Amino acid sequence: MSNLVHYSLANGVATLVLDDGKRNALSPQMLGQINAAFDRAEADRAIIILTGREQVFSAGFDLKVMKSGPLNALRMLRAGYLLTARVLAYPYPVIVACNGHSLAMGVFLMLSADYVVGTRGDFKISANEVAIGMTIPRVAAAVLRNRLTPANFQAAVALAKYFSVEDALHAGFFNELADAQSLMPRAYELAAEFAKLDMPSHTKSKRRIRSKLIRSIRRSVPLDLLDALMVGVKASMRSKR
């Protein structure tokens, strides 16, 4: 299996680079390697910086897998949805350096981090499920609601709005913006700043304020998978008519 997540560790900071050579689709293989990288970083007691490749953070779930059969699709969805809870509860700070476009599950993964730095440029940020004929999953809605301003939450979910990076900053997708050349240096500056925190207090505090959200996500996963299964069944029935 190819290496889709590149891991490096320096000065207590684990840098995870998503790179499938294309749009960083969150396939089962990619999701498995992200989880493995989080396991490794946790064993290293490391702050995490998560980023993407060549102007793409992630375009979301792998649509080829979605079309390959219900079992494969459900396994991928389950892994992606549960990853949001994993990131939200990670015991050390998680920084996303969003280096470009981020869509759908890529957005939900990004917004599960503690701090998100976006990149100035002609990039789009969107939870585009409604635009492609999907009802927003409960897990996705919970993650979006946790970060976005109320008006922008409505626009993101119900209208599948595509946000420019400046609009995304004001909406709550990003904590700040950086130029492309200063994105990773800024992420490392933040990691050095966050390393001064008392980590047990950091862990306990963020798990305390996110406990309801994390429980909601975990309860919602089976319901979202059932929804996805029913959509697939209905589509199959239509195709046989």
> What is the reported pLDDT for 2?
78
Please name the residues in contact with 31: beta carbons below 8 A apart, sequence gap of 6 or more: 76, 79, 80, 83
54 lies in a domain? yes
The CATH number that applies at residue 177 is 3.90.226.10
97 lies in a domain? yes
Q: Which pLDDT tens digit goes with each residue over 51-86?
A: 999 999 999 999 999 888 889 999 999 999 999 999
231 lies in a domain? no
Give the rounded distance of the alpha carbon of 18 from its chain centre. 11
CA distances in angstroms from 174 to 30, 40, 63, 144, 193, listed in the order given: 23, 26, 26, 12, 18
What is the Cα–Cα distance from 166 to 170, expressed in whole angstroms? Answer: 7
With a cut of 70, which residues of the chain have pLDDT below it? 1, 232-241
Q: What total of structural domains would you count in the chain?
A: 1
217 lies in a domain? no
Burial of 82 per CB tally in 10 Å (0-12, 13-18, 19+)? middle
> What is the reported pLDDT for 235?
56
Q: Are 103 and 84 in contact (CB under 8 A)?
A: no
Q: How many CB atoms lie within 10 A of CB 130?
A: 16
241 lies in a domain? no
What is the Cα–Cα distance from 160 to 10, expressed in whole angstroms? Answer: 39
Range of the domain at 148: 5-194
204 lies in a domain? no
200 lies in a domain? no
Cα–Cα nearest to 173, from 214, 128, 113: 113
**Alpha-helical segments (H) within 14-159:** 28-43, 63-66, 70-89, 105-110, 138-147, 150-158
> What is the reported pLDDT for 167?
98
Instruction: Retrieve residue 114's tokens.
Output: 């503690």
46 lies in a domain? yes
> What is the reported pLDDT for 225?
96
What is the Cα–Cα distance from 158 to 131, expressed in whole angstroms? Answer: 9
